[in-house]
A and B are shown apart, each in its own frame.
Chain A
Amino acid sequence: MNDDRALAAELMQEYAENSPFHGVLSTPTFSVEGGNPACGDKISMTVKLEDGLVKEAKFIAHGCLISRAAAGLMGELIENKSVEQVLGLGIKELEQGLGAEFRSRVKCVLLPLHVLQEGLKQHQKNPICAGPFHVLVPRNLGM
């Protein structure tokens, strides 16, 4: 394994195993869950909104290293961002943050963000509902 790859692998391991965003918020604005039926990866999230900002989100993720690492990174990326900014995040920011390109694993990288973004959209449509919202993940996610 060359140095870049080793570094990226180490970073992903760190995000996947030691993210401070693992867990469940005690007073979330809403919760959302979704999974990738093709591989069985699943994520559930509790999200706190305040004045149009995503104050915090915590997640419980089951799945491959990449989807769990992407969830850890996502926790960092979205903190105190506006809902619009979070809805504008995509593969570019995730790949940048994880220091690697994923090509065949785009679906794994995007799963947590997709579930959160769809949860935010469902909450926008129905702001008094706290969920749990269920997100159907398309088979061609990121393609």
Chain B
Amino acid sequence: MSSASEFIIDQTNSGNGDSGGISACRADFPFFAANPYVTYLDSAATAHKPRIVLDTINEFYTRFNSNVHRGAYPIADEASRLFEDSRREIAAFIGATRDEVVFTKNATEALNIAAYGICATRISPGDEILLTNAEHHANLVPWQEYAARHGAKLVFISIGIDGNLDLNEVRTKISSRTKAVVVTHCSNVFGILNPINAIAELSHKVGAVVVVDGAQSVAHVPVNVMEIDCDVLAFSGHKLGGPTGIGVLYAKQSLLAEWPPLMLGGGMVDVVTLERTTYAPAPHRFEAGTPPIAEAIGLATAVRYLSKIGMNKVSQHCHRLRALAADKIGSLPGIQIIGPKIGGNHGGILSFVFDGAHNHDVAWFCGDRGVCLRAGSHCAHPLLTSLGFDGSLRASFYLYSTEQEVHRLATTLAEASDSLRKGTK
């Protein structure tokens, strides 16, 4: 019978990858052939998928579809093996080991599991959790909820319009009461990479665990959990070319071993009687119900694809396009860039506000002309409010984005400026 070892498509020839330079990889993404007139600059919201990922998912459902860790027949064994191999491969992509990686439905669920677990095991009334004011709602709301349940206080590091996190403020606000330091690696508004290493050093000195939201960073730059020295890292699959419906929670084994599971049910148990249940060890303890099987296999294919190209190259490409865009649109009248116009260590994210027209009207104007931008508060209401904006526009770039698209963005924004700012109050 067919075996997973001959799974799909020759994955050694999985696309243009590195062979033609990073610009050649655009041909690996069927979205662009299907939408030739679209300038997609919203990859920080979700990235397009290389053909190899789509084909792999299709192949899984066609040849190996069965549930994992349940069936006593060969195809189910193959599915289980593919699923667990995917876990190993995704773990290796971030410098972790297989049993430190929990599959979730997205980064939000991963952060919920972490917040629930940490607050249940390490927080007593009067303790503090240190966060930044630039966290995505996914890395703020769960902490608000679980901190309140356990009597902890949230303390915030304030990031201003330059987007830079001040380590002195961390030094001032961290103390023996601090039990967790919760920080985004790369803000989805500023796109700047925060110095996790330095934050981890300060946190570990007081025994606090470091929880990192890697939703943007893992997609845009090389991330190794050992090198950045975080205790927890969460990210989503769909932002790096994998399918939707899968996220990853990395946590050190000692933490996973002590946390109670957030979701309960089948697949995460050890012994079940009518009166009580004991739970399976991590990572399966945190994966109640049928997990995202095809999604995990698809995500493993995406990280293989990215690894072949090289995350350093992806990072350099996005950084270069962000700098070009900042230069081009920063000089247009009425546009203010949020974060530094030049310099800084960036993912491929550029946020800006448009004087004299509402951000949704600008995004709509651009969308009507094929230029896809994000508008709004980017699930970071407190940050935008503290900066004095009710929303912003955001252009974000990925490995398949081109200089031509940056030029089209600048031209379209100039048109929007002419058209929308006429006659405004």
Binding site for B on A (CB under 8 A): 1, 9, 13, 17, 38-41, 62-66, 104-105, 108
Contact = CB atoms under 8 A, between A and B. Distances in A.
B390 interface: yes
B364 A39 contact: no
Given A40-B390, A40-B391, A105 B425 contact: no
Given A38-B376, A39-B375, A40-B377, A62 B390 contact: yes
B150 interface: no
Given A17-B425, A39-B376, A66 B361 contact: yes
B121 interface: no
22 contacts: A1-B419, A9-B419, A17-B423, A17-B425, A39-B377, A39-B391, A40-B376, A40-B377, A40-B381, A40-B390, A41-B360, A62-B390, A64-B359, A64-B364, A65-B357, A65-B358, A65-B420, A66-B360, A66-B364, A104-B364, A104-B367, A105-B364
A51 B246 CA distance: 55
Contact of B361 (A1, A65, A104): A65
Contacts of A17: 423, 425
Contacts of A63: 358, 360
Contacts of A65: 357-358, 361, 420
Contacts of A13: 423
Given A40-B391, A65-B357, A66-B364, 7 more contacts: A1-B419, A13-B423, A40-B390, A64-B360, A65-B358, A65-B420, A108-B360
Contacts of B359: 64
Contacts of A9: 419
Instruction: Determine the interface band of chain B, counting residues with CB < 8 A from chain A.
Output: 10 to 19
Interface in B2-37: none
Interface in B363-414: 364, 367, 375-377, 381, 390-391
Contacts of B367: 104
Q: Which of A40, A66, A104, A108 has the most CB of B within 10 A?
A: A40
A65 B425 CA distance: 12
A107 to B, nearest CB: 10
